[in-house]
Structure 1
Amino acid sequence: MKTSVFYNVKNLVVEETPIPEVPVDKILIQIDTCAICTWEQRVYTGVKKVEFPFIGGHEIAGEITRVGATVKGDWKQGDKVVFGTNLACGHCYYCRVGEEQNCLYFDHSQQQPGLPYKGMGGLSEYLIVDPENIFTYQNVQPEEASLTEPLSCVLHSVETADVHFGDYVLVIGAGIMGMLHLQLAQKRGGIVIVSDPNEERLKLAKHLGAACVINPEKENLTKKVLAETENLGAQIIFNTTPIASLIPSLLESLSNTGTMILYSSYYPDNPVELKFDHIHKTGQKIMGTANSNKRDFIRAARLISRGIIDVKPFITKIYPLSQIQEAFQQAVTTDAFRIVVDFKQERSE
């Protein structure tokens, strides 16, 4: 099988590796598509430090090719599935109470069974998976289904914030994660404002139903938010950017008793100054969210399969595996939403 391996920063090599043998209690999936997440982009640019060689990829859609002899359930060859990464340990307190997204031992650098190097493994043509970590999808193309993983993380974020009907919601950043927050918050009845300096993305946000869009380089964000929210501020703010320095000023746009969700990872993770008496007096909450769990994954797959959430606008370009270097280069140097690697193109030739 073909596997794309990071050998160093900006150094990806497609090489032949053996198809893994399938343990009796596991399933072998043939990967059709793998979207390039920001996490892998940071490995590519060297911002995220990993031990090389490394096999990235975790936004995965594929098809079952073999089912181990003792696997329970009605899994069968040919089932179309998405893969919920098995990076949680499965045994700590948080895993056992259904909060595996906050596993004490969450590890992006586990070595997947049957693969020659550490990493999440989605940029290989085949992957051995636990039955409990795959979820069926229908009606959409694999490149759409591969965005189930990011949608599941956003679903977890929006539910953590507990958006209610009529809430004013401010989304900072109009990348793919910001746009998915926009769509899910709307589905829960939120009145959504989107802020981003990219005018083209603001146009798309408006097209997708944003009540208001703000370019913070041209308008005062706080004044505009207050003007759009009856001078109260947003009840919910989702910061989908990796910029920690924004957080103190965003509190000025947050309502009393409001909640700010820190969705993104922060690079660099530098300290920022907060006025804690302000938080004390306003009753504001700052919460973090990361990853997703099985419950999130099942529902994200349904939302995409049934067309409740349309992810097609966020698929910027699809590359065959042989052009993996070009795919990553475009992912990190353009305003792309998601670049998708397609294993099927050259497999069928």
Structure 2
Amino acid sequence: MKALVCTTPGQFDYSEKEKPESVEGRAIIKIKRIGICGTDLHAFEGTQPFFSYPRILGHELAGELVEANGAEGFSPGEKVSFIPYFNCGTCVACRSGKPNCCTSINVCGVHVDGGMAEYLSVPSASLLHGEGLSFDELALVEPLAIGAHGVRRADVKPGEFVLVIGAGPIGLGTMEFARIAGGKVIALDINNDRLQFCKDRLKVDHVVNALDPDITEQLKQITNGDMPTVVIDATGNQRAINNAFQYMAHGARFVLIGLQKGEISFSHPEFHKREGTLMSSRNATREDFEHVIASMKMGLVDPKTYITHRVQFDEVKAEFESWLNPATGVIKAMVEL
């Protein structure tokens, strides 16, 4: 089978790999769609933590089930996606219902080879039914689940102001599920085109450009002087994360979905007097995936609006680097096989 391998930062090569063999407990999927996410872009750049080369990227995937191999209720030929965080099932995190942060987790396309290939073998227990969704929609369940998990971590309550920093695909999904939870969403980004997308496509309540000199004053005005009670970072940018502590209301929760390699720095007295809560949000759980699928089926979220670029698998190597350039206007690139 044909696969696309990221051999070193900045370098892709197509190569022939052995098609996965039938193994009990592992399903085989014929890949039909691959969504390109920030993890893939960072891996290509060489800035992704917990990463080694060479690696086949790709974990936003949808396809046709070829072999179920122990997946009860699944049949060959049906449309499927899967949960791409393969956990051990026995560590302290898994035992406490947090397989998304398993101590020995293997994330598809990060720690183990992913789906930029014609076929992929995954644990049968990770499969998700297509539920009548299209391949495009199924490939976008995973990035939306990331945002849904972050919103669940934040425990967003109806009517409270939720500041989401970063209007990339993960940030957009976070905004959607904050809205579904009843939050009043504020989008913060440096890209006016993306902020306009938030207003026009997602009907976000308020948008603020992060390059404005009066961000704090704008947030005070929007929140009637209170500041946001939930702040969620979806940038993975060190400066953005450090700056965001000043945007927290007293008693606020700050959730880090974005990940960067450096140190977090903030004023302890300012954080302490707010009795702030700082937490990370890693990956997602089956509960989040099922929430996303149900929301799609109910029409509460339409992920297809995020797809701005579409290419065939043979074109990925030539096109991929261009998606790093904000000038291309890419929000979500979708690969077809």
Give the TM interval when normalised to the shorter protein: over 0.9
Contact in 1 for aligned 2:106/2:112 (Cα 8 Å): no
- Bigger CA drift: 328-337 or 122-131? 328-337
State the alpha-carbon separation in 2 of the partners of residues 305 and 259 from structure 1: 30
Secondary structure at the aligned position of 1:160 is classed as helix
Structure 1 pair 232/175, CA: closer, same or farther in 2 (3 Å)? same
Residues 121-143 of structure 1: CA deviation (Å, up to 9, x unaligned): 21111111222101012343312
Letter in 2 for 1:95: C
Match of 1:323 in 2: 315
Q: Give the letter aligned to residue 82 of structure 1.
A: S
The alignment status of 1:222 with 2:221, answered yes or no, reads no
In the alignment, which residue of structure 2 is the partner of 1:261?
255
Residue 243 of structure 2 is matched in structure 1 by: 249
Range 138-147 or range 160-169, more displaced = 138-147
Whether 1:61 aligns to 2:62 is yes
Moved >6 Å (runs of 4+): none
Q: What is the rounded CA distance, in whole Å, between the counterparts of 2:233 and 2:187 in structure 1? A: 10
1:30-67 Cα deviation digits (max 9, x unpaired):
11111112111112112237433311111111111123
Q: State the alpha-carbon separation in 1 of the partners of residues 3 and 297 from structure 2.
A: 28
Tell me the equivalent position of 1:275. Answer: 267
Partner of 2:174: 181
Q: Which moved more, 1:100-109 or 1:233-242?
A: 100-109
Unaligned runs of 5+ in 1: 112-117, 344-349
Task: Judge which range, 225-234 or 139-148, deviates more.
Answer: 139-148
More displaced 10-residue stretch of structure 1: 291-300 or 253-262: 291-300
What is the aligned partner in structure 1 of residue 164 from structure 2? 171
The sequence identity of aligned pairs, in percent, is 26
SS at match of 2:249: strand
**Partner SS state of residue 234, structure 1:** coil
Distance in 2, matches of 1:243 and 1:72, equals: 39
1:313 maps to amino acid: T
- 2:229 aligned counterpart, secondary structure: strand
Matched to 1:311, the amino acid is P
Match of 1:133 in 2: 126
Give TM-score scaled by structure 1 length: 0.89
Distance 1:51 1:281, change over 3 A: closer
Q: Say if 1:171 and 1:193, in contact at 8 Å, map to a contact too.
A: yes
What's the counterpart of residue 101 of structure 1?
Answer: 100
Aligned residues: 333
Residues 238-289 of structure 1: CA deviation (Å, up to 9, x unaligned): 11112223344323221110111111011x41342x2212222221111111
1:205 is aligned to 2:206: no
- After superposition, residues 83-122 of structure 1 pair within 5 angstroms as 83-108=82-107, 119-122=112-115
With over 3 angstroms needed to count, the CA separation of the structure-2 counterparts of 1:165 and 1:9, relative to structure 1, is same
CA distance in 2, matches of 1:313, 1:83: 22
Q: CA deviation at 1:21?
A: 1.3
Amino acid at match of 2:250: N
Separation in structure 1 between the aligned mates of residue 20 and residue 219 of structure 2, nearest angstrom: 53
**Contact 2:56 2:109 survives alignment (8 Å):** no
CA RMSD in angstroms, aligned pairs only: 2.0
Are the equivalent residues in 1 in contact too, given 2:86–2:123 (CA < 8 A)? no
For 2:46 and 2:313, the matched residues in 1 are separated by 21
Q: Distance in 2 between matches of 1:102 and 1:33?
A: 26
TM-score normalized with structure 2 length: 0.92
**Cα–Cα, structure 1 residues 313 and 119, in superposed 2: closer, same or farther, change >3 Å?**
same
Distance 1:110 1:186 in 2: 30
Indicate conservation of the 8 Å contact 1:139/1:306, yes or no. Answer: no
State the alpha-carbon separation in 1 of the partners of residues 159 and 264 from structure 2.
Answer: 34
Helix, strand or coil at the partner of 1:62: strand
CA contact (8 A) 1:85 1:120 kept: no
Structure 1 position 5, deviation (Å): 1.2
Deviations 1:141-167 (A, max 9, x none): 312211111111111100000111110
Quick one: structure 1 residues 120 and 91, their matched pair in 2 at CA, closer, same or farther if it must change by over 3 Å?
farther
Aligned AA (2:131): Q
Q: Distance in 2 between matches of 1:160 and 1:24?
A: 35
Kindly provide the CA deviation profile for residues 79-105 of structure 1, in whole angstroms up to 9, marking residues without a partner as x: 111121143222211112220111112
Aligned partners of 2:231, 2:109: CA distance in 1, in Å?
33
Tell me which of 240, 256, 263 is aligned to 2:234.
240
Task: Please give the per-residue CA displacement for 1:152-199, whole angstroms capped at 9, x wherever unaligned.
Answer: 111110000011111011111111111111111111111111111211
Q: Does the 8 Å CA contact 1:137/1:302 hold for their aligned counterparts?
A: no
Q: Partner of 2:81 in structure 1?
A: 82
Deviation at 1:327, TM superposition (A): 3.4
